[in-house]
Amino acid sequence: HPERVKGLIMVGPIFCPYGSRRRKYLTQSWLNTLASGGVKALFAHIYPLVYSDRTIENGGSPAYLALRERFLALNSYEQVHQNLSASLTSDDDPKKLERIVCPTLLLAGEADFLTCPSSLAAACRLLPAGGMQILDFSGHIPYFEATAAFEAAVQSFIDAAERR
């Protein structure tokens, strides 16, 4: 709905400008971990991927345990299995990015395991009105790890979109 959308922000975008093979390999490995060890094992698998070195070191065991308990409370085996399985059915077709005509901000943490600056830049070049920003000291969840920088980036993008 380009006539109604003034802007789009994609945070830690899972979409790859080269295709979906790597994402699907990762997803299948998570499904394997889920099947063999449950949601708790899945959290142990993804924790070092999702969070940056700084967050993991600064948080230590208390942060790990708190985040794990939150993850377990919010995610049932069935829900996680359904969501991961569903993601295997979608393809990252780069042509889809070319159809997003509204201003779009790709926002990622510098330690995001799913994207690197060069891949994010490649995705950005496919967007007719794309921009990108990499946030320091954060991984795949920059709004958690670099909250102030994340909020400033989002507010700046919204302000620019409202001026158009």
Write the DSSP string, 33-61.
HHHHHHHHHHHHHHHHHHS-HHHHHHHHH
pLDDT of residue 163: 87
Tell me the helices (H) and strands (E) count for the chain, helix number first: 7, 3
d(CA 124, CA 107): 10
Least reliable range by pLDDT among 14-18, 49-53, 93-97, 156-160:
14-18
Q: What is the 8-class DSSP label of residue 12?
A: S
Higher pLDDT pick, 90 / 14 = 90
- Does the structure show a pLDDT above 70 at 59? yes
Mean pLDDT of the chain: 94
- Does the structure show a pLDDT above 70 at 1? no
The verdict on pTM exceeding 0.85 is: yes
CB 138 within 8 A of CB 52: yes
pLDDT digits 0-9 by tens, 117-128: 999 999 999 999
CA-to-CA dists, residue 163 to 93, 127, 139, 151, angstroms: 31, 20, 30, 18
